[in-house]
Amino acid sequence: MDYLDQLNEAQREGVINTEGPTMIIAGAGSGKTRVLTYRIAHLIRDKQVDPFSIMALTFTNKAAKEMRERIETVVGGEARNLWMGTFHSVFARILRAEAHLLGYPNSFTIYDTDDSKTLIKNIVKELGLDEAAYKANVVYNRISAAKNRLISWQEYLANPELKSDDASNMRPEMGNIYKAYALRCFKAGAMDFDDLLFNTDKLFKEHLEALNKYQHRIKYVLVDEFQDTNLCQYFIIRKLCSRWENICVVGDDAQSIYAFRGADITNILNFERDYPDLKVFKLEQNYRSTQTIVEAANSVIKKNSAQLPKTVWTANEEGNLVELIKAVSDNEEGRLVASSIFEEKMQHQLKFSDFVILYRTNSQSRAIEEALRRMNIKYKVVGGLSFYQRKEIKDLLAYLRFALNQNDEASFRRIINLPKRGIGDTTVDKIVIAANDHAISIWEVLQNASSFIGGRAAGAIDDFVTLIKRFSIEIERKDAYDAAFEISKGSGLLRELYEDKTVEGLSRYENVQELLNAIKEYVDDPEKTDKSLSAFLQDVSLITGQDEDKDKDPEKVTLMTIHMAKGLEFKYVYIVGLEEDLFPSQMMLSSRAELEEERRLFYVAITRAQKRLFVSYALTRYRFGRLKNCEPSRFLDDLDQRYLKVSTKFSGLESSPRPSGNYARSLVNGIKRTTTSAPVQKSATSYKAPSDFAPSDTSVLQEGMKVEHPKFGYGTVTKMDDSGADRKAKILFDDFGEKTLLLSFAKLRIHN
């Protein structure tokens, strides 16, 4: 069968119209990869174009490999002669031939990210700058962002706006570090990843003979995921294509979600302005999802003003409504999602690998992971380690463990120079040898450092010992949360992570906060009688023991951030944490452009689903050690209510009739709920509230009062807790035992 017969009309048009500037707007699940590969195959097989004159640019090696294999099935071995690969790999190939024109050896070294950061660290040290202020990660990202916007170190130093920006961030020397870094790389005959693009642009700008050579050689340029290109990539492409103008870009503006990496959505939005003769083909038929999911996604994305008009549709079955799971807390959200997955799997004979749980930030995985473990559901975390295996979590846990047990050698080795305190590996080895030689503990050696070690290191060790002793006292005096918070602050770990303002740094800081939230939840759980740090660590060690499972079983639920899920599809998708300030993120609410990027992210999440979509939110979530009331996300308002139903099967809340109008906000209204640290276990006795039930003013509530609750029935107040922002009452119910209720939520009728 001919490959053109496998295409719908719009796809076919995108394949056979090969001449001149072309933009293929490909909605989610519309078969864009197929169109791109068949277009290249069509050029080679039917148009007799030499593969050596075709350049296809992708964002991942995986995408390039898959495309090449698909083309090979149509045209055979000729596909190997294509200029195909990632932007970095293709432009590195050009630079290998032309680098001498820029003063580099053609055998230049390519520095990976670690090499670059090591060099930056050395430069910061040599310039006598504060290493805490000029962290390698922060400096590297700043230089990278400048190169992606085609700003050289000379232009950087001459730009008053950039200088003022650096000064306000307490890093006035950033430009000088950039200069030193660029000159050192040049001297070493090395380029970093960003240089592969930056120097290609420079080559074409300053050496017209080189540009002319490649303009003649490359007659067709095709770009995948064009919405993710940055300024530098786009400028290179435009220069390359200026002779033949056979440029074809494929992308979806609605899936532009990488602004934090430098992606510039205006490249795709303004493409028509740059090429007035542009032919536009729209792939609007979705082959992936049900009608309901497609329409739900359309209703969300139409709220964005910056977009290219298109109407995505599907001929697939109508499918189920999007199901909304409402939970009291983030822990309950995890439990309800895990229960839903288990039930759906059993009911419909599915595999666990058919399910994915998507979240906005990595830190959200903790509650989900723990819920899945409790139900013995295997899972894998894509694009990151499981929560308790993350470096920053292991670092803080090591501090907590060593403060409890000074004989813990593994924890000692992990934290002795964290944050940096001038105690190197040699000193650590000396400490261990001294302990072994004298048959004493490491802690004894540390306490007598001047006798065993001497020199400058002894002073740093003395400070460390004093710190640990202080932490040990804190552990004895305080509960697990207060002690852990004190240790995370006193050790300097929190400060170090907080000062790292990069995307990765922020993620690590959120993870540590999430661990503190978990400890706070543990302490606030009325069923936990032992609130000590050692009891919490014992619980954690039982959880993390399961992380050692290294089996290769593919039969697992997938957990990942939405950014990681781009380009993937799953039968069943759960999007969790749809709350204001979480999704959309509070970091992305300072401008309309940022909010629209968050909405595109939600659109990407929705369109990963083939058969079923579930969305969830929690009414309370621990943030920074405090129980916060959460507001449902504005994106639930964006989603047309015709395609949404509230889950009753898995709701831990009493169901309420669907309100009209501003749906997300009104979801909270009228929900009778309680907050306990553990799911409510009903006894055999059931209670039904009378029709005239009306809650009383709980501000007058005191110990000893008789009360009535619409769910738990009659009880007596045994204890009041007025500390903190939220008043709580401990109530012994006749039929349901003792419950701790948040009075701002609990509906109680006083009978005294």
Active site residue ranges? 32-33, 224-225, 255, 608
Share in percent of the chain as helix, strand, coil (round to 5)? 50, 15, 35
Residue 743 phi, psi dihedral angles, 5° rounding: -70, -20
d(CA 380, CA 188): 41
Output the six-digit token pair for 140. 């590297």
Count of alpha carbons within 13 angstroms of residue 595, beta-carbon side: 14
The helix or strand, by DSSP H or E, that contains position 184, with its residue range, turns out to be: helix 174-187
Q: Which residues have a Cβ under 8 Å from the Cβ of 164 and sit 6 or more positions away? A: none
Output the six-digit token pair for 250. 């494929």
With tokens 């149509």, the residue in question is 74
Contact 692, 707 (CB under 8 A): no
Q: Which residues have a Cβ under 8 Å from the Cβ of 695 and sit 6 or more positions away? A: 747, 748, 749
| Reduced 3-state DSSP string for 149-178 | CCCCHHHHHHCHHHHHHHHHCCCCCHHHHH
The dihedral over CA atoms of 411, 413, 416, 419, expressed in degrees to the nearest 10, equals: -80
d(CA 289, CA 313): 10
Residue 144 DSSP class: H
d(CA 211, CA 213): 5
Contact 508, 485 (CB under 8 A): no
Count of alpha carbons within 13 angstroms of residue 707, beta-carbon side: 31
- For 724-740, the DSSP string reads SSS-EEEEEETTTEEEE
Output the six-digit token pair for 202. 């420079």
Please state at what angle helix 330-348 crosses helix 365-374, rounded to 10 degrees. 50
Contact 269, 593 (CB under 8 A): no
d(CA 124, CA 136): 8
Peptide bond preceding 679: is omega within 30 degrees of 0, i.e. cis? no
The helix or strand, by DSSP H or E, that contains position 138, with its residue range, turns out to be: helix 136-148
d(CA 577, CA 617): 5
What is residue 610's three-state secondary structure?
strand
Contact 597, 563 (CB under 8 A): no
What is the per-residue burial (b if ≥16 Cβ within 10 Å, else e) of 497-525? beebebeebbbbbbbbbbbbbbbbbbbbe
Q: Which amino acid is at 505?
A: G
Query: What is the phi-psi region of residue 31: left when phi exceeds 0, alpha when psi lies from -120 to 50, beta otherwise?
Result: left
d(CA 468, CA 464): 6
Burial class (CB in 10 A: 0-12, 13-18, 19+), 376: exposed
d(CA 666, CA 663): 5
Q: Chain-centre distance of CA 348, in angstroms?
A: 30
- Which of 180, 203, 185, 181 lies closest to 109 in space, CA to CA? 185
- Which of 474, 468, 485 lies closest to 411 in space, CA to CA? 468
